[in-house]
Amino acid sequence: MSISFTPWPAELATRYREKGYWRDLPLTDISERHRESNRPAIIDQEQTLSYSQLAQYSDQLAAQLQARGAQAGDTALIQLGNCCEFYIVFFALLKLGVAPVNALFSHQQSELTAYAAQIKPRFLIADRQHPIFSDNRFYDELIARHPELQHTIWHHPHENECGLQSLYTQACEGFTPTPSAADHVAFFQLSGGSTGTPKLIPRTHNDYYYSIIGSVDICEFTENTRYLCALPIAHNYPMSSPGILGVLYAGGVSVLAPDPSPTTCFGLIEHHRITVTALVPPAVSLWLQAIQEWNFVQQLSSLRLLQVGGAKLSESLAARIPDEIGCQLQQVFGMAEGLVNYTRLDDDRQTILTTQGCPISPDDEVWVADEEGNPLPPNTTGRLMTRGPYTFRGYYNSPEHNAACFDQDGFYCSGDLIAINEQGYITVEGREKDQINRGGEKIAAEEIENLLQRHPDIIHAALVSMNDELLGEKSCAFVVAKQTIKAVQLRRHLREQGIAEFKLPDRFIFTEVLPLTPVGKVDKKLLRQQLVEDNKQNA
């Protein structure tokens, strides 16, 4: 059985193969290329994993999962933090043709429930140290709802539980991998989303592998690359842009930081002589502040390249990076759906400071549409439309949503408002999708509105972005309630439903009615304007 997804049309698939983008190799090739090497591949707070161990442990874990009935076409729900096990598990599952969803470690019951409902996982691999698994309340609920969930394997198990480490360290004889076909689904990526339930993005081996190799070329990763992963390991950016998979492909080493704070990262950079890392803009601000306050810039002397993406980087912040950190800046504008843009290492300073780069592939087709879907000339702001050799063709099991965000030629409308200059470089000018980008962490407004409206005293709720100096954006919930209710109560209500902390509204505003547009939708533009006015008055 293989997992369903929307394939590329045959003529495009042929073109992508002819041009050498699609190599018809499974992603597990990445863990096998350096299998004989004893060089370190991934270093976390607990262990150093060599390339040979990564290959061997993922074989051994795969053999154990196979013995428990894992089959090609199965799915698995995974939630692991920044630890070596993330990639042991990732490769083990792919070696069996089992497709994982990798939840972020910040995700809680609500997100995991939504993913499980969509993929109906046969396996759960999660961390007992995560608060939602510290007792069995949520776990019992999950297995009651999902009879197909037959095996759970714990990182940091309680006594007498099936432990991840004990499985991957158990010797096996002659395991033969059976990955899914290279032009089929390898795993699911998470969408930042704008809808009530988070959507899943099927990624094939061919398309994802190409985006990794293309990124490695552009970013010039080699076996001498020493990469610090300070972002959540499951995110598309540190997975593939070029991320840890790019480092593994090139033969370098990745060091995993538990968080992106300067206190955590500066010491790791110094100790491991890190050459490259990836951050979101708010982390850059904190790093620059720490450098100024502590005068610790010499700790970062090995750093050659700082990638910044996930949210818009202001020109003023960008300019401080080469000057104050003393390394090169690369802007990265990517999405888990596919398309990734980079400024190139040899671009001029102005291009690097003021644009979000250009696509990986000569066959990434990117254009700007007006509201009627007509193409706009260069340097004009409109909707980003794209298709290409590593941009997906449809969300998993979401025909209605797909009909809305793809045009008839298979171009995906990301919801970003951009302009493209004559050189093909993109600047991100805004957003049309109903999402808040809280310093790189995406919040789908509808998801939070639905959860708020489950409260018996709430009649109507609308979540909008408000400007924030550090995070770029924060979230504000406008609420119409039946009776007086406090912000703390609503926060508690949301926490009880188990959502990631970053999704909790930063501010609540209670109001009599929500303004509507002529077609009867909540007028969020007006609400955002109101917040700007408020801010001016309070300033």
Would you tell me which residues interact with ligand AMP (CB under 6 A)? 191-192, 236, 309-312, 331-336, 356, 414, 416, 428, 431, 437, 442
Residue nearest to ligand DBH (CB): 334
Of the pair 347, 416, the CB lying nearest ligand AMP is at 416
Calpha distance 227→443 (Å, rounded): 28
329/332 with CB nearer ligand DBH: 332
Q: Locate 475 and state its tokens.
A: 């979230």
- What's the CA angle centered on 159, arms 154 and 161, to 5 degrees? 40
* 340 near ligand DBH, rule: CB under 6 A: yes
* φ/ψ of residue 240, rounded to 5: -135, 0
Is the Cβ of residue 43 or residue 332 nearer to ligand DBH in the bound state? 332
Could you tell me the smallest distance in angstroms from the CB atom of residue 190 to ligand AMP?
7
Q: Which of the ranges 102-110, 132-140, 234-242, 468-476 carries the binding residues for ligand DBH, by CB under 6 A? A: 234-242
Q: Verify binding: residue 237, ligand DBH, rule CB under 6 A.
A: yes
- Of the residues 61, 335, 436, 490, which one makes contact with ligand DBH according to CB under 6 A: 335
Q: CA 39 from chain center: how many Å? A: 28
Q: Which does 241 bind (CB under 5 to 8 A by kind): ligand AMP, ligand DBH, none?
A: ligand DBH
- Cβ-based nearer residue to ligand DBH, 58 or 236: 236
Span of 25-33, 235-243, 320-328, 470-478 interacting with ligand DBH by CB under 6 A: 235-243
- Is residue 309 near ligand DBH by the rule CB under 6 A? yes
* CA 499 – CA 501 distance, rounded (Å): 6
Sign of CA dihedral 141, 142, 147, 150: negative
Taking CA 309 as the corner, what is the angle to CA 252 and CA 321, rounded to the nearest 5 degrees? 85
Least distance from ligand AMP to the Cβ atom of residue 441, Å: 8
Instruction: Report the residue from 336, 462, 477, 531 that binds ligand DBH according to the rule CB under 6 A.
Output: 336
Distance of CA 329 to the CA centre of its chain: 21
Query: 338: which residues sit within 8 A by CB, 6+ positions away?
Result: 207, 211, 386, 388, 390, 391, 392, 412
Q: How far is the CB of 242 from ligand AMP (least distance, A)?
A: 15
* Token pair listed for 192: 């930042």
* Per-position DSSP letters for 397-430, written without gaps between them: T-HHHHHHHB-TT--EEEEEEEEE-TTS-EEEEE
Q: Nearest distance from residue 426's CB to ligand DBH, in Å?
A: 13
Cβ density class 346-369: b for 16+ within 10 Å, e for less: ebeeebbbbbbbbbbbebbbbebb
Is the Cβ of residue 155 or residue 203 nearer to ligand AMP in the bound state? 203
Question: 240 or 465, CB closer to ligand DBH?
Answer: 240
Sheet holding 226-229, edge to edge: 48-50, 40-43, 253-256, 226-229, 276-279, 305-309, 328-335, 338-342, 358-359
From ligand AMP, ligand DBH, none, interface partner of 416 (C-beta below 5 to 8 A by class):
ligand AMP
By CB under 6 A, name the binding residues for ligand DBH.
236-237, 240-241, 309-310, 332, 334-336, 340
